[in-house]
Amino acid sequence: MKTIDELQVAGQRVFVRADLNVPLDGSTITDDGRIRAAVPTIRKLAEAGARVIVASHLGRPKGAPDPQFSLAPVARRLGELLADSVRGEVGFATDTVGDSAKATVGALADGGVTLLENLRFNPGETSKDDAERGAFADELAALADLYVGDGFGAVHRKHASVYDLPARLPHAAGGLIATEVDVLKRLTEDVSRPYAVVLGGAKVSDKLGVIDHLLERADRILIGGGMAYTFLKAQGHEVGSSLLQEDQIPAVRGYLKRAEERGVEFVLPVDVVAAAEFPDLKAKAPTAPRTVAADAIPAGLMGLDIGPESCELYAAKLADAATVFWNGPMGVFEHPDYADGTRAVAQGLLDARTPAGEAAFTVVGGGDSAAAVRLLGFDENAFGHISTGGGASLEYLEGKTLPGLAALED
């Protein structure tokens, strides 16, 4: 893939496909990590004299304008972050390829930046019909001279702005995508060992592909979050009213058997923090958690976090790792009563040391894991890398071809 250093951008209209899909509470951005991650590439292009057109999706609108998914709050935050390095204020087009987009792009001066409205307000962005998607890509291409792909969180999607548009313009990878790919290669091609993988989150079905692939590569796989209860059930344990995917039990049993045969250590919780009801994440009022054995969760209780003994166990399993990949929280980290497991894993990454005593290469695999790092107050710079794309990272580690990366290759 070419990088932006190989493009002549001065005076050119450069379309930057970023990933600004941030969580919102009304019009308030609750985690601006993805916006901050996009800034270096945008700033570099602007300072080189490009006329920068930034585009992204936000949420899952139904192919039509929807105020709750407007990028207007993102435009304001982007303007704040770029205030010292762009010419004029960051503009905002109230549509994607209509009169507002044409006018704001037409008004750009060298070094200026504008943001288009949510790409998914146009049905062509996500269409499965090649012609409809291509027609939208043609309209986007008419706005620009060059294309820079930098939205790593979307590269696993075959969408118009990710897959079709690069074919219509001279293109290159932005700094964020280049970094993400370099990191993922370190997790797949020449891994320093011991290699530990921590997987959490709600559904085991979301992680089956990556577990399958990592069984051939990892030395240890630590399981937490809602998906852990399907593993515990597969071992014959009672899981109360915990999240459970009964239909995945046969597959899980197969993975446990393969891990044993290959000498891959599979680590499951030995205790969990449970409660009778799922907590109110907005009120965050105190609940009545109970710590119970992971192999005997009482009926009527649901596991919501790994327990204190599991926290110690997981920290010990990470302590001598040379490489750690973590994707998915250990529990309902958004509530303080169920955040200790996720906090322990994050700290475990920071404390991990190679057999030679050097700090481990640690990768936080985007999504909720990255949000947890910020919510729980950890220094993001203390980790080797925090990915901006949870789903994209997982699909890369599964060995899949990612459409957005393939489109950037010459």
Catalytic residue, chosen from 367, 389, 390, 404, is 367
Torsion, Cα of 79, 81, 84, 90 (10° steps): -20
328 is an annotated ligand-binding site residue: no
Please say if 34 is a catalytic residue. Answer: yes
Give, in order, the Cα–Cα distances in Å from 44 to each of 18, 29, 82, 232, 253: 14, 24, 11, 49, 49
Which residues, 6 or more positions from 100, have their beta carbon under 8 angstroms from its beta carbon?
Answer: 93, 94, 117
The Cα 112–Cα 50 span in angstroms is: 7
Catalytic residue, chosen from 112, 124, 224, 391, is 391
Category of 112 on φ-ψ map: left (φ > 0), alpha (ψ -120 to 50) or beta: beta
Please say if 254 is a catalytic residue. Answer: no
- With H, G, I as helix, E, B as strand and everything else as coil, classify residue 294: coil
Catalytic residue, chosen from 203, 253, 258, 353, is 203
Please state the domain extents for the chain: 4-178, 191-398
Q: What is the CA radius of gyration of the chain?
A: 22
369 is an annotated ligand-binding site residue: yes
- pLDDT score for 283: 87
Please say if 62 is a catalytic residue. Answer: no
Q: What is the pTM of this model?
A: 0.90
17 is an annotated ligand-binding site residue: no
- pLDDT score for 87: 80
59 is an annotated ligand-binding site residue: yes
**Identical fold between 4-178 and 191-398:** yes
The Cα 279–Cα 259 span in angstroms is: 34
pLDDT digits (tens, 9 = 90+) for 204-235: 998 988 999 999 999 999 999 999 999 999 99
pLDDT digits (tens, 9 = 90+) for 312-339: 999 999 999 999 999 999 999 999 999 9
Catalytic residue, chosen from 34, 133, 317, 343, is 34
Q: How many residues does the chain have?
A: 410
What architecture (CATH level 2) is domain 4-178? 3-Layer(aba) Sandwich (3.40)
58 is an annotated ligand-binding site residue: yes
168 is an annotated ligand-binding site residue: no
Name the nearest CA neighbour of 364 among 350, 356, 22. 350
pLDDT digits (tens, 9 = 90+) for 254-267: 999 999 999 999 99
The Cα 120–Cα 140 span in angstroms is: 13
213 is an annotated ligand-binding site residue: no
Multiple choice CATH, 191-398, 3.40.50.150, 1.10.3720.10, 3.60.60.10, 3.40.50.1260: 3.40.50.1260
At residue 77 the predicted structure's pLDDT band, cuts being 50, 70 and 90, is: very high
Please say if 367 is a catalytic residue. Answer: yes
Q: What are phi and psi of 207, to 5 degrees?
A: -115, 0
DSSP assignment letter at 108: P
E strand or H helix at 230: helix 228-234
- pLDDT score for 410: 75
Peptide bond into 403 cis (omega under 30): no
